[in-house]
Structure 1
Amino acid sequence: MAVHGWELDPYAVALTGTGLLIALVAWLPLALRRLPLSLPIICMAIGGLIYTGPYMQLDPSPVAHPYATERLTEFVVIVALMGAGLKIDRRFSFKGWGLAWRLLLITMPLGIAAIAFVGIGLLGLSTVAALLLAASLAPTDPVLAADIQVAGPLEGGEDNVRFALTSEAGLNDGFAFPFVHLAIALSLAASNGKTWFTEWLTLNLLWETIAGIGCGWMVGRIFGWATFKMPGDTLAKTGDGLVAIAATFVSYGLSEMLHCYGFFAVFVTALTLRNSHRDHDFQRDMHDITEQIERITMMLLLLAFGGAIVNGLLAEVGWVEIVAGLLILLVIRPVTGLVALIGARATISEKVAISFFGIRGVGSFYYLAYGINQGNFEDANRLWIIVSLVVVLSILMHGLTVTPVMRWLDHRHGREAG
């Protein structure tokens, strides 16, 4: 790269860009807190501008790099799950987490069925492709939903809306995985004729769920003891919040070696680690480092996503895809959310907000990439287009409304606006 006879060192350019990115990570959340804009919107816009330049030759499209997409989104999601688990002040209980169970056990299955119906009836997808689409788009994303989650450890802000969406985002990634595996099993059975039901039921549904919870609890107990209760110099005395990242990697790595759901394991590890000493200031240190790493990696992904859009990722989108995306975000999620919250202890305005803010994002990209890499789907390219469209619509729609809506709710319920 040369400018007026001077050679620009790519390494120096990369360092400069990285420094600016980190500065934006630190500053933008503060600058945007009172504006009807979100960090993901800004990241996509910056990515689009970067990739319109003449020197960006790399194709950032997830279609071109499905395996890299799977691994990068996987990393961001597990870090976000650790952060979500550490920030929840409310002790885990089946009764106290009633809003989360309603969203998981009612909203998600109804949403998967409805999205699959739209995929088959409106989009013309095959049954297995529609099921993978539905499983990918049903979960609320733990990464892009930071603006509607609870505050950090010991900071409060656990109203019904923020708690419900944080706990749902933490748990529903694990609940969606059996449906992703069902789509994979059906796609492979269609091509090789193998029986699939017994393996899916015993391995993918029962073992991977139960073992994931058990693995996460075990790792959380061990790290909780080493961090707060071990005789002598505990990990908390180091003051280094990277302990949370260590727990994230150990939990996810062990769960993968045991062939169980790592997303479940990481979130359960976070809850167990938090419960080991709920009021210790080191909880903030662990949460803060996970949040910083999550923001940096999220911004990198969204920069690439913005570049992919500029490079034509959504060029083949038609009115059918747009109608389907709007149905998923404006009809299916809100209606299934409101159905699940019938009889719940929350005001009407809170129920509407919980049902509306089912943000789709990085988790959807991970599930789709994982399904396509593991299965046999003829509609893979179209699935990428549809999921990308829904994520763009979600980022724009939810990003533009979250600040005014949450401020209005805080004012209505007599809370200090955050």
Structure 2
Amino acid sequence: MPDLTRPEPYILWLTGAGVLIALAVWLPLALRRLPLSFPIICIGLGAAIFSIPGVDLVPLPIRYPAITERFTEFVVIIALMGAGLKIDRVFNWRRWNVTWRLIGIAMPLSIAAITAIGGLLLGLPWVSALLLGAALAPTDPVLASDVQVGPPKSGEEDEVRFGLTSEAGLNDGLAFPFVNLAIGIGLAAGTGKPWFADWILHDVLWEIGIAIAAGWIIGKLFGWLTFHVPTESSLARTGDGLTAIAATFVSYGLTEVANCYGFLAVFVTALTLRHAHRDHDFHHDMHDITEQIERLAMMVLLVLMGGALMTGLLSPLEWVDVVAAGAIILLVRPVAGWTALWRFHGDRSEKLVLAFFGIRGVGSFYYLAYALNHLPLAEGERLWAIVGLVALFSVLLHGLTVTPAMRALDRGQGRDPDAAGGSKV
């Protein structure tokens, strides 16, 4: 007879999944006006769960390299589709000026500064230092939802929210060449083969160009299938937001088959799909399903991160690593962001928020997992500890300040932060 006093692990996992889903639905609403963020609660919950005696899973990313890479990859591509779908602003070189500044100036400056910190302060080999810089430079599209624009056609798209959303959407793809640069230099060191020409021609020009083209073509295709085929057979008529998930997977998959940057392609696909019929209500359905899947996947990931923190993720840290992590959050991004916004036409308060809220997280986890799976490094555990600490600092600092900062910004610009769409007072 079965032991009725001890429930099966499957039943416990099922119950836990139900609790997590309920929390994923309720917590964002409960925390809306509090100086706490959803990621903070998730990490705390994970730390509590993995502190319970009898929970023997050790969710260290170094132990599960393939799972870590694929799971973080999944979370990021869903977040990128969601970010692209909710941008109301029409793509225009001039109107996207803040984006180009953050991408073209702030990100390279951040990569250079973090690389210097890694090599000079932390004593890492320069390949590892460059990898650290490439992994930690991009603003994360997953954890930055609290500083992003609102749902499609909601009106929640001031310069700050637009800038941080568009930056997070693009820099996860545009940081990839620097990750590949670290991998290429590391592999070339053992073979003596030249790497620079191949990096410029393939990793930069070819992969970025094809990713943008593929994202645009697939976005056009899904835009036509969704909005412009005869009404009775259009995807919009189904009312099923899973169309966005289909577009995400097709865009990412086909671009990766071509050995190009799927992250960049997914965001371009989302922007193109959004542009196919900007005022259609079906965009809400597509955005809602991506947001729900993203939130649930992010919660699982952050619970595991909390568990990793409790099971030794930070144990390889040295005191100088803690200093470096603080400098990356408090100095590197704010200074790089402020430099990028020099002579940008905006309020001082807007520039400060844009420069400060360069949130680090899931994208950094993916890049590090991807790189270490292609180029094993002796410093792998220490790199994971540093990236984990930077993400933890970011979640805590940005999570505690984002609500009061954004509410103060809204009030300063004459918007009611408690009104839907940030309506004028």
Equivalent residue number for residue 293 of structure 1: 293
What is the distance in 2 between the residues matched to 1:92 and 1:416? Answer: 27
SS in 1 for 2:150: coil
Equivalent residue number for residue 396 of structure 2: 396
Give 1:228 shift: 0.4
User: Map of 1:117-128 to 2, 5 A cutoff?
Assistant: 117-128=116-127
Equivalent residue number for residue 268 of structure 2: 268
What is the distance in 2 between the residues matched to 1:55 and 1:44? Answer: 19
Q: Is 1:217 aligned to 2:216, yes or no? A: yes
Equivalent residue number for residue 307 of structure 1: 307
What is the distance in 1 between the residues matched to 2:203 and 2:375? Answer: 14
The worse-fitting range, judged by mean Cα deviation, of 51-60 and 152-161 is 51-60
User: Map of 1:123-162 to 2, 5 A cutoff?
Assistant: 123-162=122-161
SS in 2 for 1:144: coil
2:316·2:381 contact (CA, 8 Å) conserved in 1? no
Q: Which whole-Å deviations, capped at 9, do the CAs of 1:61-117 have from their partners, x for residues lacking one?
A: 111111111100000000000000000000011111000000000001111100000
Equivalent residue number for residue 284 of structure 2: 284
What is the distance in 2 between the residues matched to 1:307 and 1:379? Answer: 22
Equivalent residue number for residue 417 of structure 1: 417
Equivalent residue number for residue 171 of structure 2: 172
TM-score of the aligned structures, taking structure 1 as reference length? 0.98
1:187·1:376 contact (CA, 8 Å) conserved in 2? no
User: Map of 1:30-69 to 2, 5 A cutoff?
Assistant: 30-69=29-68
Equivalent residue number for residue 319 of structure 1: 319
What is the distance in 2 between the residues matched to 1:321 and 1:363? Answer: 20
Q: Which whole-Å deviations, capped at 9, do the CAs of 1:152-171 have from their partners, x for residues lacking one?
A: 00001111111100000000
Give 1:256 shift: 0.5
Give 1:6 shift: 0.4
Letter in 2 for 1:30: L
Q: Which whole-Å deviations, capped at 9, do the CAs of 1:263-295 have from their partners, x for residues lacking one?
A: 110000000000000000000000000000000
Letter in 1 for 2:295: R
What is the distance in 1 between the residues matched to 2:131 and 2:321? Answer: 16
Give 1:212 shift: 0.1
What is the distance in 2 between the residues matched to 1:133 and 1:328? Answer: 11
Q: Which whole-Å deviations, capped at 9, do the CAs of 1:148-195 have from their partners, x for residues lacking one?
A: 000000001111111100000000011100000000000101122222
Give 1:345 shift: 1.7
Q: Which whole-Å deviations, capped at 9, do the CAs of 1:355-395 have from their partners, x for residues lacking one?
A: 00000000000001111111242211111111001000000
What is the RMSD of the two structures over their aligned residues, measured on CA atoms? 1.1
What is the distance in 1 between the residues matched to 2:315 and 2:222? Answer: 48
2:135·2:365 contact (CA, 8 Å) conserved in 1? yes
Runs of 5+ unmatched residues, structure 2: 419-425
SS in 2 for 1:267: helix
Give 1:54 shift: 2.2
**Count of residue correspondences:** 416
Letter in 1 for 2:285: D
SS in 2 for 1:6: coil
2:317·2:382 contact (CA, 8 Å) conserved in 1? no
What is the distance in 1 between the residues matched to 2:278 and 2:270? Answer: 11
Q: Which whole-Å deviations, capped at 9, do the CAs of 1:326-364 have from their partners, x for residues lacking one?
A: 111111100010010011121001100000000000000
What is the distance in 1 between the residues matched to 2:354 and 2:219? Answer: 29
User: Map of 1:252-263 to 2, 5 A cutoff?
Assistant: 252-263=252-263
What is the distance in 2 between the residues matched to 1:257 and 1:345? Answer: 41
1:216·1:269 contact (CA, 8 Å) conserved in 2? yes
What is the distance in 1 between the residues matched to 2:270 and 2:54? Answer: 42
Equivalent residue number for residue 20 of structure 1: 19
Letter in 2 for 1:24: L
